Structure 1
């Protein structure tokens, strides 16, 4: 009988990275003795390096176990990058370091601590489009049953997608502020907004329906995770487990996520948050960039003092040319009221680490149509590749709206012979060219 080969899968050894050279401000963050700390970090100032080195310092010099570190961020890609870079610095895999998105961490909390019978089956998370569909189904039923007293001006819109989307935004905002349905009703009565009163009644009904169907939207997930983490017994267990908490892109947190952090690390423990109030991208879903500057008032040291603030003041991403252009743009932004003038100047006017990043240049061009713009971008990229020998992999095109711009640019660049790699989460499935063709065929069938 022939022998059966024995195959073994062995993990690749973790890449090893040497310790980077830190500037004075980065070193001050890494050497912070403990307690809450806010770091303002503009683009290219070494924010991620500082976060990684702070974790490495706690593990290698201060004796923390990797499992005692919790890192929270806003995308799976960012969480994966943090894990990879920490592993490279430690020279080993870091399965113990928990680098997670807020929502993944909240889901784990709910599954771990919530009522076992209530969550015997894992709750299904509703994406924004799925939530819109479910709300619209409930609204259609509302028009037939009349259980909620909707204002006459809204009744004709109960079957529309637009109202479902607006209602989803209102309920998510209410949850991010910690509102229960009666709170939304009370807010509507106080403000003379009958639509809020009706939305509060609908809010209560939708929660009952979603509970019966084991479904959660993301705002409800964070709300319930905060309730779980605030329970004294659960809170004690979580604080024993997480001696050092790190938050990336803190300016994108909403009030509910801040409340979760206060439950996890509001006792003056080692908490490092990094952010840039000029870069908030999630205000449309309730994020409050001003909350970043209120961090020292919300998180105190164990001695009762306000959390200290440090600023990273050297950019390595661009030289004087781009730096001057960026300063002219941010000069139009309001001065954060809680920052003193010196701190504000350090943050808004970083120095350039010449000659490491060169000078750079800024050009502004306008076009008569989106098609002309796409063709010109393709021309610029081909010229840089053919005339300047610049690899395709070192070029990038940034757009304001992925749904509207990326498919058009992708077609134009491909037609011009420019290879295109679109980030997987930039274009929804329905907007992919092949899927659009299929959807059109289905509509015409």
Structure 2
């Protein structure tokens, strides 16, 4: 064996058989289906090093594409370690940075100079806003961020301005398409590209100039792609043009992009034309690595068809599956395998490990979101006591709004935590805005709070006007509240005076709500505020100022999350009110309301202050959404909020996107190495007052063999219990909401729950009397609920009763926990 062969052979040591097969692939198209934790980065880095060490190509003849700069840096570093030398010349880059590098050389062919500017997302949003204003669009309805996202989707699908206009189905879409046209025109005039243009313009370049495409084809003898399941149509087309034998060709209109769905199909199929005559065949050395079960970025235009249909695009492709997992124990993998098996659009795989079975997965049903948070924190403390570092524990949830109860419980337990990919709850902009309104109502001299809220939502009160009002207040010794009563005295212009006057009317209404109407002398307040609750005041602020309505009108998906956060703030205020007014003064009603607000603001300030304090070297518990958790791993993972409508999200249920939601749950499960717990709450304050919840359908898809023995009952909404052997259980009816059955012994009568070791919520209860009743309600029967008052039963869905309440409309309640009272 010569030295080259010896060096290459070293790279195969320690790899399992499928990994070695992928690293030694002789060439041509290769799809590596890399299950979670199966060592895909190891395969990619060893493949690059093997190509170089075996003499198949030089470093400068390889293009390795990743999705993040961090992943690119890691890949380059690990290749350098394997080769034992510099990786200078190796193209390891994100899609966008690779395209930017190409365009810096070739931009003049597309009408740009090589010094073109790359606009970041803030630059793009500002330009979109100017274009919308120039078109006369209402930027409160057509928010720049939402319109920018729509334009981005068009570009990622390679749709030209003209195609976007042709596809516009209504006024909103037409406005977006017109903004797209104006925006793109301005980009070209400014010699600028946004991030999406970097992909689209490179595709445009390769399609317009076959000689340029051929030059880069020859330069890159091997192309490797990480996270292929996350590629969008533009990225797919870029790879197709670099590697395929007969790439389809169309010259896109100048200034408009190539303009079609690169995969074909759908509304853009006709945009692909015949292959170029006389073009040399591509080298076809394309290796893509990914996992269709982790395709969770459809909202970013990622197209799972790219990985599912790889053999359709490359009929001679070889497919290798990496199924041995090096991260998790087998019980965790069994849960993941069982869940994802319910997806129909997938490449079947079965993850296995040699790490042993490990702890069983635990599913716990909690009485409410507070009990859920307390249980999670108690488990964090227990695991920490057993030696698991806080930094090796993560709490994952579907939406950021679910973090609030967990954050509060962690803070009360004096456990340090970090929120990844987001901001701590009380530091989120919309939460701080609402609290700033309350702070200014409480203290009119608070200039910081005033400056924050005076133009939120946007009222046409610019920074110059705000500065003049603050200067006037400081120079005359009055509060900002007194300034807005006479804005002209602060030197504001006519338009600003009008805007401030409208704002002053809103504040006057809110102050009347808080303090009561002034008496005839204009100096006091009536007792009309005596019944005021802080939660009511929070809602009044959001309503009167127009803050809520602006977010509700928005088409921006991020604003949906902001509304959820404001609903959580309202729920937090509801909880504050429900805890009573211990320590409140015994004065007038207005004093009571004022002092309640004072205590509420003090409590939130103390929570925010405690959030900023670190606990020392033992680390921080990590909180994040499931989308942000992709690619990470922890010793212990808690998945919280597994309720239908929350996870899977109601939006996904309505739009039929359950498979992507299930893939998201799969990602969450496979983040855990040793310990996995999944929780849901029977009552949760998510979108207003606490409401009864039903367990997520995903829980019923988990294989019982992977779970501890109390989990199946928790999955169905039944009380958790133990005390019998797993193999003797009858699980046939567990988790089947709508079947009207309860767990029973095989062939025997229903269980006598008092004889079993019941659990309270998820913990122990003492007797049958503690278990919730499960009454059967008849359609048309009148009932009363402690929260929703009177209503009429619509129907029974198994153990869920549907009631139409006179004041709040239809609600779905778990019959055993609804505490309904029959009337008449």
Coarse TM-score class (shorter-chain normalised): 0.7 to 0.9
Q: Indicate the residue corresponding to 2:99 in structure 1.
A: 106
Distance in 2 (CA, whole Å) between partners of 1:213 and 1:432 is 39
Distance in 1 (CA, whole Å) between partners of 2:16 and 2:411 is 42
Within the candidate set 388, 391, 394, 1:390 is matched to 388
Q: Indicate the residue corresponding to 2:218 in structure 1.
A: 240
Within the candidate set 204, 220, 223, 2:200 is matched to 223
Q: Indicate the residue corresponding to 2:422 in structure 1.
A: 427
2:123 is aligned with 1:124: no
| CA 369–242 in structure 1, closer or farther in 2 if over 3 Å, else same | farther
Question: How do residues 216-295 of structure 1 correspond to structure 2 at under 5 angstroms?
Answer: 216-230=193-207, 231-266=209-244, 267-295=282-310
Q: What is the CA deviation profile of residues 399-434 of structure 1, one whole-angstrom value per residue up to 9, with x for unaligned ones? A: 333x545677556535534343554xx126x97839
Shift of 1:287: 0.7
Question: How do residues 397-412 of structure 1 correspond to structure 2 at under 5 angstroms?
Answer: 397-401=395-399, 403-405=400-402, 409=406, 412=409
Distance in 2 (CA, whole Å) between partners of 1:251 and 1:315 is 19
Q: Indicate the residue corresponding to 2:377 in structure 1.
A: 378
- Secondary structure class of the residue paired with 1:159: coil
Within the candidate set 166, 169, 175, 2:155 is matched to 175
Q: Indicate the residue corresponding to 1:359 in structure 2.
A: 358
Q: Which of the pair has the greater relative contact order for Cα pairs under 8 Å at 6+ separation?
A: 1
Q: What is the CA deviation profile of residues 192-212 of structure 1, one whole-angstrom value per residue up to 9, with x for unaligned ones? A: 656545543432221111222
Answer yes or no: is the 8 Å Cα contact 1:126–1:216 preserved in 2: no
Question: How do residues 49-60 of structure 1 correspond to structure 2 at under 5 angstroms?
Answer: 49-60=42-53
| CA 375–109 in structure 1, closer or farther in 2 if over 3 Å, else same | farther
Q: Indicate the residue corresponding to 1:323 in structure 2.
A: 333
Distance in 2 (CA, whole Å) between partners of 1:214 and 1:372 is 56
Distance in 2 (CA, whole Å) between partners of 1:97 and 1:378 is 47
2:184 is aligned with 1:207: yes
| CA 98–161 in structure 1, closer or farther in 2 if over 3 Å, else same | farther
Distance in 2 (CA, whole Å) between partners of 1:296 and 1:240 is 24
Q: Indicate the residue corresponding to 1:149 in structure 2.
A: none
Q: Indicate the residue corresponding to 1:40 in structure 2.
A: 33
| CA 132–434 in structure 1, closer or farther in 2 if over 3 Å, else same | closer
- Secondary structure class of the residue paired with 2:343: coil
- Secondary structure class of the residue paired with 1:124: strand
Q: Indicate the residue corresponding to 2:452 in structure 1.
A: 443
Q: What is the CA deviation profile of residues 218-243 of structure 1, one whole-angstrom value per residue up to 9, with x for unaligned ones? A: 32221012122442232222223222
Structure 1: runs of 5 or more not aligned: 1-16, 144-154, 300-304, 337-343
| CA 306–19 in structure 1, closer or farther in 2 if over 3 Å, else same | closer
- Secondary structure class of the residue paired with 1:314: coil
Shift of 1:249: 0.8
2:410 is aligned with 1:413: yes
Answer yes or no: is the 8 Å Cα contact 1:253–1:287 preserved in 2: yes
Distance in 1 (CA, whole Å) between partners of 2:80 and 2:88 is 9
- Tell me how large the CA RMSD over aligned residues is: 3.1
User: Computing the radius of gyration over CA atoms, which structure comes out larger, 1 or 2?
Assistant: 2
Question: How do residues 24-35 of structure 1 correspond to structure 2 at under 5 angstroms?
Answer: 24-35=17-28
Distance in 2 (CA, whole Å) between partners of 1:236 and 1:53 is 28
Distance in 2 (CA, whole Å) between partners of 1:18 and 1:29 is 12
| CA 261–325 in structure 1, closer or farther in 2 if over 3 Å, else same | same
Within the candidate set 294, 311, 315, 1:296 is matched to 311
Answer yes or no: is the 8 Å Cα contact 2:103–2:114 preserved in 1: no
Answer yes or no: is the 8 Å Cα contact 1:226–1:260 preserved in 2: yes
Shift of 1:23: 1.6
Shift of 1:332: 1.8
Whose helix fraction is larger, Structure 1's or Structure 2's?
A: 1
Answer yes or no: is the 8 Å Cα contact 2:119–2:194 preserved in 1: yes
Shift of 1:43: 0.7
Answer yes or no: is the 8 Å Cα contact 1:185–1:197 preserved in 2: yes
Shift of 1:329: 1.1
Answer yes or no: is the 8 Å Cα contact 2:40–2:289 preserved in 1: yes
Shift of 1:86: 1.6
Answer yes or no: is the 8 Å Cα contact 2:229–2:302 preserved in 1: yes
Answer yes or no: is the 8 Å Cα contact 1:132–1:161 preserved in 2: no
- Would you say how many aligned residue pairs link Structure 1 and Structure 2? 391
Distance in 2 (CA, whole Å) between partners of 1:132 and 1:90 is 44
Q: What is the CA deviation profile of residues 163-190 of structure 1, one whole-angstrom value per residue up to 9, with x for unaligned ones? A: 54443333222222222112223334xx
